[in-house]
Amino acid sequence: MLAFGIYLAEGASMVGRYGITRLRNRRLRMILLNYELYLFLLPVIVLSILFKYVPMYGLQIAFKNFIPSRGIWGSAWTGLENFARFFRSSLSWLYIRNTFSISLYSLVAGFLPPIVLALLLNSLKNQKYKRVLQTVTYLPYFISMVVMAGMIVMFLSPRGLWGITAGLLGVEKVNIMALPGAFKHVYVWSGVWQGMGWSSIIYLSALSAVDVELYEAATIDGANKIQKIWYIDIPTIAPTIIILLILSTGSILSVGFQKVYLLQNNLNLMESEVISTYTYRVGLINAQYSFGAAVGLMNTSVNFVILVIVNRIARTVTNMSIW
């Protein structure tokens, strides 16, 4: 998309110099000479249109009483009634609170571990040990979410690893997944363990751009490892940290549906029910398509507003932003 934008900007600048006819010929020659690049770009554009823009046509059902037999245009217009219905519900603020608390907890707990891991891996001198450790830390990322949820439920059950350990220590065997207060901690820290190694790859890539002469100069000046990390490594990855933080806050109300749904049960539902699972139950299981679309649109709109605000704050404070 960036290449496409540069191409359009270049084309606009040539209008005044060559005229419309020459411009068209120039564009055609550029396309013919670089057709391979445009062929590589074409699938990205097509997929973006199909999966990002075409589905936006269906957003209008959030403002209607959608009946599948009548279609989108034939369904009655209800305006903001579906949005008002959600906020009139006695449990709506509970779902918003659960979603926000789990997302914020995940952001705070999961943001620093990949940075620390990347800094530690970057400071290792033994390259073989470094590669092995890096592979071991990011392998959990490739575990299927269904398998991961099954492992969590099995390990934390009274008959699983937790139950065996509790029996050896003389502690009461309890089903941790049946405790409402334990759900957030299990969800967040299992996610940190699973994604920490994979997320550290981005920071390791940024650290690979550090000039070796900086470390040599710091060694000559008597700097230790901690000082090298503080004065060389962290300033190098600071832009990457800020950009990833902005992107993370843009999905503050978008807790992953699959893992939450797989770890839910009737005993922890009051702490585990989030907007995404609520939308699934109401919109698909109960076939209330308009109401489910309204809740999802509201969630996405709030995420977009938060993203814009955080990006503006980051640009004001640090002069770094994603646009």
pLDDT value at 265 more than 50: yes
Q: What is the pLDDT of residues 180-229, one digit of tens each?
A: 899 999 999 999 999 999 999 999 988 888 888 888 888 888 888 888 88
pLDDT value at 13 more than 60: no
pTM passes above 0.85: no
Query: Of the candidates 149, 88, 86, which has an alpha carbon nearest to the alpha carbon of residue 283?
Result: 86
For 81-143+182-318, CATH number out of 1.10.3720.10, 1.10.10.10, 2.60.200.30, 3.40.50.2020 equals 1.10.3720.10
Average pLDDT over the chain, rounded to an integer: 85
More confident residue, 14 or 231: 231
User: For the chain, what are the domain ranges?
Assistant: 2-61, 81-143+182-318
| Averaged pLDDT, 235-252 | 84
Percent of the chain with pLDDT over 70: 93
What is the CA 107 to chain-centroid distance, rounded?
A: 10
CA distance readout (Å), 145 to 104, 148, 162, 284, 304: 21, 5, 20, 21, 26
Q: What is the pLDDT of residues 306-321, one digit of tens each?
A: 888 888 887 887 777 7
Q: What is the pLDDT of residues 98-121, one digit of tens each?
A: 998 999 999 899 999 999 999 999
